[in-house]
Every structure is written in structure tokens, then in C-alpha cells.
Structure 1
Amino acid sequence: MECRFIKCHGSGNDFPLVDGRALTLSEADWTQLARALADRAGPVGGDGLLVLTGRDGDAAFGMRMFNSDGSEAETCLNGLRCVARAGFEALGIDRATARLKTSRATVAAAAPLAEGVYTVEETAGPATLDLARWPLTGAGERLVDAPLAMLPTDRRFTAVAMPNPHLVAFVDRVDEDELVRVGQVCEGAPDWLPNRANVSFVEVRDDATLFVRTFERGVGLTDSCGSAMAASTYAACLTRRIAFDRDVTVLNRGGLVRARATAAAMVTLHGNATWEWEGVVDVDLSEARAGNLRILHRHDDEVAAWARVAAAAR
């Protein structure tokens, strides 16, 4: 099949984005398409595949997000901003309710984070601490700033669903080797965590700045994970490391977002939705392989604008 897409990113979390409103693919085909397009060894590459879907009740459009291994995630807040931009441009609107796999979120075009940076405000939640919904067994009904005996570390974790599952540990300094070891245990889908989980190590830089590094379920280490930044912000407020209802800068390897969490467990992010380039590629779904890439348009000004933001964040 021939597939047209936009290569985009939210805070360095990069994806091919497909308008799926007129596509009729089986679930197996979507899995294969994600594996083909997101393959880092292929012509496109990404942390996963984003799909713009059609109206559903009060939702003007929806999003599906497939990880690079073909599994489908409940949400992806960095990706949602990109899908929201595509939905806004397709429908001629600037705010909407968006349908996610298991929840809804509100999205709106927002004032730019910096000159030349297309910015979207998104509000998701409520976050939940109920471990039975993951499920995560053997740790009680909830886990807040406490060790998890099944992991190869004595770090203290807070378990938050956003609505995808996150384990958040606050550290003085991120140790990536340790993060990978913990992440790989969760990625193995042990009996106590059958649906796996995202794992984040978080540095509290000051009372309004976090740095988040994430091992993402189905992907591995990522430059950025939007739902992890939201979960980390809420966990930081819950454990009184920062205050609820305060604007926070959340730094990551790909740049930053602005975040605010409420005591009602809602989290709002302001972040970029940057178009990098647009292209078309031939995909062999049976082999999950893409080839014969043709680049149709490059968005060099947007890429440069975000590069300045990311450099300043570092």
C-alpha cells in the first residue's frame, strides 16, 4: 500500500502521523503499519505511529497511538498535540474534545511557547492511583513514594495511571543504566505487571522545574514522553515536592513542556506540535516493511524554531 504521512514531534517524541479517517485497515494491519513506519532502521522511523481518527459523539476527532513494537497505547500526550494540530487543520477549528483509546482529553491551539513554535494546550485525567486497574499486584491498593520489592532497585516509586500506567521515582540524579534495568523488568510483562508500565526517573531541579527521563513501554528510552511528564508532575504534587495549581517547567532530552496539576488529578500541558517533513512511502504490510520514500515537503523553519527551544532547555 502507498501511505502518506507527516513526520512530526512533540518535545522530541517523534512520530509518523497518518490521517486514518478514510482508511479501512484490520487491527493486524495497523500493527504492521506501525512496525513498518516506526522502524528506526527503515526510511521513516519514530517512537510510534499516530493516527487521526474521525468524530465520535462529543469528540470532534480521535487519536490512536501504536508503539514502535506495534502494541497500542492508551494515550500519548506528546502525540496528542500533533494529532490535535492535524485535526484542527482538517476541520478548521482551534479547540476540541479528542477521543483516546480509553478516555477523552480537551485540546486547544495556544499561544506559542516561542517564536515559530506551534503550541497546543491539552488537559487529561483524572489520574488514578488504583493499582487494580493496571493491574499491578503485590503492592496493595496504591503505591505512593514507596519501594516496590519486585524491582531491582530500592528506589521509592509512585504508581500513577494517566490513563496509561507509570512508575515514577524521584532521584537526585538520573542514572540511565539503572532506569533501563528497571524498565526492562517492567517491559518483560511479569505476572505481577501483565500489561507492562512506563518508568520515569525525575529530578526536582527547583520548586517549579522538573527533569524527566523515561523508559517507555513498547519503545525503550525516549527523549520525551508526554504522559510521563504529566504523571511525574502529578506525582510531584501528590508527594509535596511541588505545589498543586502551580505552573511548572518540565524538561526532558527533547526540550520541554509547561505543566500544571490540580488536586482533582487533572493535568494540563502546553507543548509543541512540530511538523518536520511530509512524505509518502510504499508499505508491505505482510512483512511490516517500508520503502521507496518520497519526501513531499520540508518544514525547515519549524524544525529550526524548536531547535532553539531545545538548545535553551539544555
Structure 2
Amino acid sequence: MRFDFIKCHGSGNDFPLIDARAIDLDDATWGGVARALADRAGPVGGDGLLLLTRGDDRHAFGMRMFNADGSEAETCLNGLRCVARAGFEALGIEAASVKLMRSSAEVARDAALASGVYTVRETVGPAEIDTAGWPLRIDRATTIEQVVAPLSSEMAFTAVAMPNPHFVAFVDTIDEATLVALGEKCEAAPDWLPHRANVSFAQVIDSATLFVRTFERGVGLTDSCGSAMAASVVAAGLTGRIAFGTEIAVLNAGGLVRGRAGDDLIVRLSGNTTFEWRGSAEVDAGRSRAGGLTIAGHCDDEIAAWAALADSILQRR
């Protein structure tokens, strides 16, 4: 099968994006396509695969996201912005309701983060703090800055679903080796966490700035995870570190988003959706391999605009 796609990223979280509104494949095949196109050793690479899908009576269009390991995620907020832009351009609109796996989101074109940076605002939630549906099999229904004994006997976590599950720990310094070890413990799908979860370390830089580093379920250590940044904004409010209603700059290894959570746990994120290049590739979904890459064109102005913003972010840390 040959697929046309856009290589894009939201805050450094990069994906091939396929307009799949007229493509009908089963989940197993899409999982194979994701493994092929997202393979970092292959011709494309990415943190996963994004699909722009058909809408319905309530939604202008839909989104699906497959992780690099072929598993499907409930949502991906960095990816949602990219799909939103593709949907806007396909339909000639600038705001929409989007159908997700188990929920909906509102998206709209927003004021640019910087000159030349296409920016989308996404509204999701409310975030869920009852972990029964994860399921998280420990002896309490909610976890707000508490030890999760099977995960760590020392660190305190806040558990938030966006609706994909996240553990957020606030730390003074980010130890990536520890983060990876905890992420891999969740990735193993133990009996107490059979559907796995994302793990983030968050630093409070000041009263309106966070830095977040994430081990993403199905991906591993990633430069950016939109739902993790949303979960961290909620966790900052739940733990009293940053007041609900505050607009927060959420920095990450890939860039930043603007975030705000209300005490109703509705979250608004505004961030980039940068199209880098357009191309096509042959995919053997059964063998999870891609080849025959053809690049139709690069988006040099967008790449340069994002690079300038990213450089300025590095100076803030």
C-alpha cells in the first residue's frame, strides 16, 4: 500500500499524518502502518501515526493516534493540534469539534506563539482523577501527591487521566534514568496497571512556568507529550503549586505550549502545529516496513519559524 502523508510536529512531538477519511483498514493493519512509518530506523520516523478520520453529526472530523509500537492511544494532544490543522485546511474552517477514541475535543486556530508559527487551541476534559477506569489497582480511588507503592516507595505522584492515564511527580531536578526506569515499570503492564500509563517528571520554574519530561506509553522517553503537559497543569493545580486559572508556559525538550486548567478540570492548551514536509511511502503493514519514500516538498519557512522559537525557549531554562 502506498500512503500520502504530512510529516509534522506539535512541540517537537513528531508524526506522519495521513488523511484517512476515505481509507478503510482494520485496527491491526493501521497498527502495522504505524510501526512501519514511525520506525526511527526507517525512512520516515516519528513518535506515532496520526489519522484524520471522518466526522459525524456532532463532529467535523475525527482523530486516531497509533503509538510507535502499533498500540492505539485514547488521545494525543500534540497530535490533535496537527490533525486539527489538517482538518481545517481540508474543510476550509478554523474551529471544530473533533471525535476522539472515547471523548471529544474542541479546537480552534489561535493567536500565534511567534511569527510564522501556526497555533491551535484545544479544549479537553474534564480531567479524570478517579483511577478505577485505568484500572489502577491500589487501595484508594484517587492519588494526589501520594506514594504509589508498586511504582515507587519514595516518590509522590498525582494520577490524572486526559483521558489517557498519567502519573505526574514534581521534582527539583529531572533524573532521566529514574524516569525511564519508572516508565519501563509501567510499560511492562503489571497486574496493578494492566493497561500501562505515562510517567512525567515536572519542575516548577516559577509561578507560571513548568518544565515537563515524559516517558510515554508505547513510545518511551519523548521530547514532548501534549496530554502529559495537560496532566501536569492539572496536577500543579491539584497540589496547590500553581493556582487553577493561571495561564502557564509549559516547557519541554521539544518546545512549549500555553496551558490553563480550571477548578472544573477543563484544560486549554495552545501550541504549534508545524508541517515540515509532504511525501509518500510504500508500506508493508504485515511486516511493519516502509520504503520507496518520495518527498513532494519541504515547508522551510515553518521549520525556520519554529527553530527560532525553540532557540529562545532554551534560553529560558
Query: Shared fold by TM > 0.5?
Result: yes
Shift of 1:139: 3.8
Q: Secondary structure at the match of 1:303?
A: helix
2:193 — aligned with what? Answer: 193
Shift of 1:287: 0.8
- Residues 60-99 of structure 1 deviation map (CA, whole Å, 9 limit, x = unaligned): 0010000000000000000000000000000000000001
CA distance in 1, matches of 2:56, 2:217: 27
Shift of 1:55: 1.1
Equivalent positions of 1:207-218 (< 5 A) are 207-218=207-218
1:145 — aligned with what? Answer: 145
2:130 — aligned with what? Answer: 130
Shift of 1:285: 1.6
Equivalent residues of 1:139, 1:148 under 8 A apart: no
CA distance in 2, matches of 1:205, 1:63: 33
Question: Greater CA deviation, 20-29 or 162-171?
Answer: 20-29
* Mapped pair 1:52 → 2:60: no
Equivalent residues of 1:2, 1:282 under 8 A apart: yes
* Mapped pair 1:311 → 2:311: yes
Q: Relative to structure 1, is the Cα distance of residues 68 and 113 closer, same or farther in structure 2, using a 3 angstrom cutoff?
A: same
Question: Greater CA deviation, 54-63 or 227-236?
Answer: 54-63
Shift of 1:26: 1.4
Question: Greater CA deviation, 226-235 or 149-158?
Answer: 149-158
Equivalent positions of 1:32-43 (< 5 A) are 32-43=32-43
Equivalent residues of 1:67, 1:218 under 8 A apart: yes
TM-score by length of 2: 0.98
Equivalent positions of 1:1-314 (< 5 A) are 1-314=1-314
Q: How many residues align?
A: 314
* Percentage identity across paired residues of the two chains: 64
CA distance in 1, matches of 2:153, 2:299: 43
Structure 2 gap segments, 5+ residues each: none
CA distance in 2, matches of 1:152, 1:127: 24
CA distance in 1, matches of 2:139, 2:187: 18
CA distance in 2, matches of 1:56, 1:200: 34
Structure 1 gap segments, 5+ residues each: none
Q: Relative to structure 1, is the Cα distance of residues 121 and 153 closer, same or farther in structure 2, using a 3 angstrom cutoff?
A: same
Shift of 1:187: 0.3
Q: Secondary structure at the match of 2:154?
A: coil
- Residues 47-70 of structure 1 deviation map (CA, whole Å, 9 limit, x = unaligned): 000000011221100100000000
Q: Secondary structure at the match of 1:256?
A: strand
Q: Secondary structure at the match of 2:293?
A: strand
CA distance in 2, matches of 1:13, 1:172: 24
TM-score by length of 1: 0.99
Query: How big is the alpha-carbon RMSD for the aligned residues of Structure 1 and Structure 2?
Result: 0.7
Q: Secondary structure at the match of 1:105?
A: strand
Shift of 1:286: 1.7
Equivalent residues of 1:125, 1:266 under 8 A apart: yes
Letter aligned with residue 226 of structure 1: G
Shift of 1:153: 5.0
